[in-house]
């Protein structure tokens, strides 16, 4: 039941996510599994399957898989920075993607259905409940599972003290965000992230996990 609630809350911001294929390291999103044949990855919407070379520090993708999959061969959703190699191979399974940086992993939730166009950042947590979405000119905050989010004007980010910081306002309130590159695990879903969001509003402080959308650029924060 709790997993259904998690999915429903996130699905309100969902659509379809596209995989990217480029000559330079880029963000990949899709389904990942470890089976007898090794580590395999299928990008969102592509229908392809690649061998995945997990070259992330500490083999973070395979570590996340062991923590989240619950059984070998079950796919989980992952996001990582990596580079496609062997594009001229004759079969998709002989083509390799080399993952170099872990971004996030989750076994439940919208996964490839999530729409991130026009989104710069999303953050959420469930104990207590909080959802934040940063877009080009505004930030949306929700403090209850039901009901419309509150819109705060202003979404400019500045880099200070190794963090990305932002202040957004309504007529009578200020929403302060601090984003830092720090491993984060959401308690309800056990989803794993590479960023933490510290949120301050109405004299209260919240900590949640965060991830970047497709509205770049992504700040280069120290890890």
The verdict on 19 and 109 lying in the same domain is: yes
CA quadruple 182, 128, 5, 174: dihedral positive or negative? negative
Do the domain assignments include residue 46?
Answer: yes
Peptide bond connecting 217 to the previous residue in cis, omega within 30 degrees of 0: yes
Regarding whether 153 and 108 lie in a shared domain, the answer is: no
Name every residue whose Cβ is closer than 8 Å to that of residue 158 and which is 6 or more positions away in sequence: 164, 165, 166
Please name which of 71, 69, 72 lies closest in space to residue 38, comparing C-alpha atoms.
72
Query: Position of tokens 């170099």?
Result: 100
Domain end among 82, 113, 144:
113
Q: Are residues 132 and 61 in the same domain?
A: no
Whether residue 89 is found in the same domain as residue 125 = no
Q: According to the model, what pLDDT value does residue 150 have?
A: 96
Q: What is the pLDDT of residue 86?
A: 62
Q: How many CB atoms lie within 10 A of CB 144?
A: 11
Which among 53, 83, 113 is the end of a domain?
A: 113
Range(s) of the domain holding residue 184: 121-212
pLDDT of residue 127: 84
Last residue of a domain, one of 90, 113, 136: 113
Query: Do 149 and 182 share a domain, yes or no?
Result: yes
End-to-end CA distance of the chain, in Å?
35
72 with 53, same domain: the answer is yes
Beta bridge partners of 31: 42, 77
Instruction: For residue 160, give Cα distances in angstroms to 33, 67, 164, 168.
Output: 38, 33, 6, 16
Mark whether 144 and 60 lie in a shared domain: no
Q: Does residue 39 contact residue 61 with C-beta atoms inside 8 Å?
A: yes
Record the pTM. Answer: 0.85
Neighbours of 129 (CB within 10 A): 15
Residues 126 and 107 in one domain: no
Q: What is the CA radius of gyration of the chain?
A: 18
pLDDT of residue 4: 38
Note down pLDDT in tens along the chain; length 223 residues. Answer: 444 334 444 444 333 334 444 457 799 999 999 988 899 999 999 989 999 999 999 999 999 999 999 888 899 999 999 998 865 444 444 589 999 999 999 999 899 999 999 999 999 998 889 999 999 999 999 999 888 999 999 999 999 999 999 999 999 999 999 999 999 999 888 899 999 999 999 999 999 999 999 998 899 999 8
- Does residue 29 sit within a domain? yes
User: In this structure, is residue 10 part of a structural domain?
Assistant: no
- Asked if residue 130 and residue 75 are part of one domain, the reply reads no
Residue 85 lies inside a defined structural domain of this protein = yes
CATH number at residue 49: 2.40.50
């Amino acid at each position: 039941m709790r997993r259904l609630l998690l999915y429903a809350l996130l699905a309100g911001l969902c659509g379809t996510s596209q995989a990217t294929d480029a000559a330079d390291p880029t963000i990949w999103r899709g389904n990942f599994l470890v089976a007898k044949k090794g580590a395999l990855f299928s990008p969102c919407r592509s229908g392809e399957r690649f061998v995945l070379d997990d070259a992330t520090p500490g083999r973070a993708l395979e570590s996340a898989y062991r923590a989240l999959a619950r059984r070998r061969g079950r796919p989980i959703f992952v996001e990582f920075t990596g580079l496609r190699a062997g594009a001229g191979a004759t079969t998709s399974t002989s083509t390799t993607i080399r993952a170099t940086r872990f971004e996030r992993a989750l076994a439940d939730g919208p996964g490839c259905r999530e729409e991130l166009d026009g989104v710069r950042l999303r953050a959420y947590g469930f104990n207590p409940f909080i959802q934040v979405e940063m877009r080009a000119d505004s930030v949306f905050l929700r403090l209850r599972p039901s009901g419309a989010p509150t819109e705060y004007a202003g979404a400019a980010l500045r880099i200070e003290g190794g963090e990305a910081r932002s202040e957004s306002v309504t007529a009578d309130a200020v929403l302060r965000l601090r984003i830092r590159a720090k491993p984060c695990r959401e308690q309800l879903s056990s989803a794993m992230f590479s960023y933490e969001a510290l949120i301050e509003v109405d004299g209260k402080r919240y900590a949640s996990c965060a991830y970047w959308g497709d509205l770049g650029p992504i700040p280069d924060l120290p890890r």
